[in-house]
């Protein structure tokens, strides 16, 4: 009986662990700057699962957990495509999800951007030749960015979104210059 009592009184191992990732923090700060320059305060992302194995969704959920807390950098996930700036699509597009993906894309206000997240969504995953899939996301709707990985890590997702925000800002900046 004395052993359980002693184990309850010992200091817990997790109490000394710190979750500071300088590279992720630097990516987040840079991303926040790009989002502020383009959108003002934040961007809204709608995630669409078109038949994935859930590994990309797990990494997206990790981004919203306290360890990463992506919302502090200006990225929020929304339930409706009508409130979204960006669609992140995961998984190969199954035959049953092609129409739903098109409708979701059409419901998203312009300007709209699409990110294919993970190898399956990009057309190079193990399900690419399955009888049950249309294929990659770009076979159904236009794709602006592909983030490869099976699944991509939270840092890879952040790097991809950061690079994409820079690309949007450069495109908008070039468009403003040519209009003048």
Q: Which of 168, 179, 164 is nearest to 27 (CA)?
A: 164
Task: Mention every residue, 6+ apart, whose C-beta is less than 8 A from residue 164.
Answer: 113, 115, 144, 145
Is the pLDDT score of 175 beyond 70?
Answer: no
Task: Give the per-residue pLDDT at 76.
Answer: 95
57 in any annotated domain? yes
55 in any annotated domain? yes
Q: Does the reported pTM lie above 0.75?
A: yes
Rounded Cα gap, residues 10 and 20, in angstroms: 25
27 in any annotated domain? no
143 in any annotated domain? yes
9 in any annotated domain? no
* Domain CATH for 115: 3.40.50.12280
83 in any annotated domain? yes
Pairing of strands 133-135, 93-94: antiparallel
Task: Give the per-residue pLDDT at 61.
Answer: 93
| Residues of the domain holding 60 | 42-179
Is the pLDDT score of 174 beyond 70?
Answer: no
Q: Which of 64, 48, 24 is nearest to 113 (CA)?
A: 48
Number of compact structural domains in the chain: 1
24 in any annotated domain? no
- Tracing tokens 């076979």 back to the chain, one arrives at 139
Span 69-128, pLDDT tens digits: 999 999 999 999 999 999 999 999 999 999 999 999 999 999 999 999 999 999 999 988
Enter the tokens of residue 34: 């790009």
């Amino acid at each position: 009986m004395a052993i359980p009592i002693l184990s309850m009184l010992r200091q817990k191992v997790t109490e000394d662990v710190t979750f500071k990732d300088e590279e992720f923090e630097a990516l987040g700060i840079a991303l926040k700057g790009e989002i502020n320059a383009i959108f003002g305060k934040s961007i809204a992302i709608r995630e669409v699962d078109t038949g994935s194995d859930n590994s990309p969704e797990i990494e997206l959920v990790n981004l919203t957990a306290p360890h990463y807390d992506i919302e502090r950098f200006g990225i929020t996930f929304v339930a409706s495509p009508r409130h979204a700036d960006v669609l992140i699509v995961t998984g190969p597009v199954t035959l049953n999800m092609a129409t739903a993906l098109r409708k979701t894309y059409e419901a998203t206000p312009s300007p709209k951007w699409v990110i294919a997240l993970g190898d399956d969504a990009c057309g190079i995953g193990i399900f690419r030749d399955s009888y049950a899939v249309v294929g990659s996301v770009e076979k159904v709707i236009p794709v602006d960015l592909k983030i490869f990985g099976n699944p991509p890590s939270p840092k890879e997702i952040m790097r991809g979104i950061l690079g994409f925000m820079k690309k949007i800002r450069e495109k908008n900046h070039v468009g403003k210059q040519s209009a003048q």
